[in-house]
Amino acid sequence: MPRAPLHPLRITLHRSVAFTLALLSASLAHAQAPAPSPQMAAAQAGFEALPEAERKAIQNDLIWAGQFNGAVSGSYGPLTFRAINAFKGGRGPADGLLAPAERAALAKAAQAARDSAGFRVLADDKTGVQIGIPQKLLPKRDATPSGGSRWQSADEKVTLDTSTTPPGGDDLAAIYEKAITVTPNSPRKITYKLLRPDFFVVTGETPTGRFYRRLSAGPQGLRGFSIGYDKALAPTVDKLVIAIAASFEPFPTGPVPRMVATVRVSSDGTISPSAAPAQPAAPTPFGARGNERYGVALALDERVALSAAAAVDNCRSL
């Protein structure tokens, strides 16, 4: 049966919609592929001229300065660029690079923050993980009923547990489903949840406390940690949770890193590099795409998360 001819108005409308969609597509394509910044390229070249250990040390120090929560990889990108400028705080050119005096100031600030917390990356002999422990906050150490390690504050208002499960037990997805289940009689509220093929993160709160849990899957089974703490301690502990999560290595392949400043400043202001190894790079989550980036944040409720501002600047979606 021959089709009825379209009314001229319909033809005009169809052409108008098609033209509008074409314009939108071109606009989106342009938005998704911004022109590289010459300033960013120059900063990247300067940063990557540094030794790898120093590049990683700068990123690690930026974490402790509260400006960076990406992977400590030694690679330079928008996160590092903005974190450096945020640390400089307008006291110098916003060029994404650190002058020697600025680098010394960053190292000093980061080391002061670590020393204040008594932060040290330890190898947990019960589970095999490497994890940073703020030992001044968590001086008590014991074993968990399930065979992991436990660190607690003197008043037991903060507890950090490590865990391990050999291959053949519950899979990651099944444990994740249990972790996010909230019954009508449960006072828990899940504030953030993320499941990836090789790890999950769940955070939440109770009427009086907060908790963070991470579990990773590998050839040796499942390994993870959890930390729970009193809500009244949130202003102090929230920031430490970010540092602990950034230091966590479920399946380490090298020696325990020493969390020390990587530059030395003498009394006369002379700056010299330290031979101390830097914190190793955090693994890229399995299946991550090139246009994704990851950071560490602490979910405070369903709509609010605590993180470094540089981690989310210019993100189109979270």
Lowest mean pLDDT, pick from 161-170, 205-214, 226-235, 268-277: 268-277
Q: Is pLDDT at 19 greater than 80 in this prediction?
A: no
Q: pLDDT per residue over 101-131, tens digit each?
A: 999 999 999 999 999 999 999 999 999 999 9
Task: Give the mean model confidence (pLDDT) for residues 4-25.
Answer: 46
Q: Is pLDDT at 221 greater than 60 in this prediction?
A: yes
Q: Which pLDDT score is estimated for 33?
A: 45
Q: Which pLDDT score is estimated for 273?
A: 45
Task: Give the mean model confidence (pLDDT) for residues 131-156.
Answer: 96
Q: Which pLDDT score is estimated for 92?
A: 81
Q: pLDDT per residue over 145-203, tens digit each?
A: 999 999 999 999 999 999 999 998 889 999 999 999 988 888 899 999 999 999 999 99
Q: Which pLDDT score is estimated for 313?
A: 53
Mean pLDDT of the chain: 78
Q: Which residues pair with 149 in a beta bridge?
A: 143
Lowest mean pLDDT, pick from 23-37, 261-275, 303-317: 261-275
Higher pLDDT, 7 or 157: 157
**Domains assigned to the chain:** 38-107 (1.10.101), 115-257+286-311 (3.40.1000.10)
Q: Which of 59, 53, 77, 65 is nearest to 105 (CA)?
A: 65
